[in-house]
Amino acid sequence: MHIHILGICGTFMGGLAALAREAGHRVTGCDAGVYPPMSEQLRALGIDLIEGYGTGQLGLKPDIFVVGNVVSRVHLADGTPRFPLMEAILDAGLPYTSGPQWLMEHVLQGRHVLAVAGTHGKTTTTAMLAWILEAAGLAPGFLVGGVPMNFGISARLGRQAPGQARPLFVIEADEYDTAFFDKRSKFVHYRPRTAVLNNLEFDHADIFDDLAAIERRFHHLVRTVPAAGRVVVNRRAESLARVLAQGVWSEVVGFGLPGSDLAAHGEPHDFEVLHHGQAAGRVRWALTGEHNQTNALAAIAAAEHVGVAPAQAAEALAGFQNVRRRMELRGTAGGITVYDDFAHHPTAIHTTLDGLRRRVGPQARILAVFEPRSNTMKLGTMKAQLPWALETADLAYCYTKGLDWNAAEALAPMGARAACSADLDALVGQIRQAARPGDHIVCMSNGSFGGIHAMLLRALAQRP
């Protein structure tokens, strides 16, 4: 089968492309403004990338077009369609489908799917779970919304391991809508036997009116888990308690709170795993932050459902190397350390900075550089939470290009500790002037951030 993927460089669609290629399909695709890590992965796989959504791509004559949720029926101010290729597909009556639907029909069918859902930590927890199963010899397939360093790829098919009734597949399960023609959440297509509900906050203000609307979507996921399945739930989240109160028909395993089925005792970088209140293993690793400790408990609980003992899972996590763009060290210059992180929601920014503060101690300075790039942040829905999100940072710098709200006004409670600029070069110049040896600079965005990491390292290296 020849599939042509619209929006191929998205983290989900790029992983789908890798799976399709591994399964023997011919894969081509298009996107706009491509950037790593997906662009690098696709080129390494020999998948042809076309820049833009021109109608000439109809000439490829694929068997089916797989449409990412970046594609819409939006028209520009002059009346021309933003995605002319999609308009041409519709006009010609050619076959098309969504990424999640194609994945369910061609990859997930017949597998034991372990789906990881939540507002935060989906990518990291999915990668942890895949690594635990790999270390246990279960050879899972997976699709992660990033590149786990333990594997070097974001997706693979895996194989059926001896003793397993079905091949295992671990997937990051997103609540965002499937496509412009399918407004259900992506995760309802996956039909998991093991579902992780890691946390739940308001997000995606562009498609959800309020938290209750997202809770209903999460309950749609719970409804798809069979009676013999397992729902792994964070007991700290009141929103998830409300989700389960709407009905649950599977085994429920809780984690996070003392007394839960899975709990932790100790610091996030070195903690004891408690299984039904009894010590069942210890996790010692390089990761920081309570969020990663909680992610670990979720992954351990999910792995137990397919036969991996908590002690074995905890031992495996000692070798977990995290995911690219999750507090990824990009380099040092002039005694200043620069990191790249995917955080964009205020809670994620807060937990990321808190984790770094725990690691570097109270004396080291942290400079937070962030781009409000997600649809929710662009709308300004959570701008009031930014001073709280950045409270651990000594200095904060906001890249304001494309924002319709006043970031300087939102950050005013931080006083002189915060600065804003719509010019990336100017922002780099401000940071270069303020940074001192021993500082830690964290760049946070869910996009490429204009290559600011390399710009900073060059600028810092050129200082007297």
Q: pLDDT digits over 59-99, tens only?
A: 999 999 999 999 999 999 898 999 999 999 999 999 999 99
What local confidence, expressed as pLDDT, does residue 203 receive?
72
Does 333 have pLDDT greater than 70? yes
Q: What is the mean pLDDT of residues 217-222?
A: 96
Query: Are residues 221 and 117 in contact, defined by beta-carbon separation less than 8 angstroms?
Result: yes
Instruction: Tell me the domains of the chain and their CATH numbers.
Output: 2-98 (3.40.50.720), 110-317 (3.40.1190.10), 328-461 (3.90.190.20)
Q: What is the mean pLDDT of residues 19-45?
A: 85
Which pLDDT band, with edges at 50, 70 and 90, does 48 fall under?
A: confident
Which pLDDT band, with edges at 50, 70 and 90, does 205 fall under?
A: low
The answer to which of 153-157, 203-207, 276-280, 416-420 has the lowest mean pLDDT is 203-207
Q: What is the mean pLDDT of residues 96-106?
A: 97
What local confidence, expressed as pLDDT, does residue 351 receive?
81
Which comes out higher in pLDDT, residue 351 or 400?
A: 400
Does 375 have pLDDT greater than 90? no
Q: What percent of the chain has pLDDT over 70?
A: 98
For 272-331, the pLDDT digits (tens) are 999 999 999 999 998 888 889 999 999 999 999 999 999 999 999 999 988 777 778 889
Does 242 have pLDDT greater than 90? yes
Q: For the chain, what is the mean pLDDT? A: 91
The answer to which of 1-15, 102-116, 128-142, 351-365 has the lowest mean pLDDT is 351-365
What local confidence, expressed as pLDDT, does residue 17 receive?
95
Which pLDDT band, with edges at 50, 70 and 90, does 34 fall under?
A: low
Rounded to a whole number of angstroms, the CA Rg of the chain reads: 22
Which comes out higher in pLDDT, residue 327 or 49?
A: 49
Does 37 have pLDDT greater than 70? no
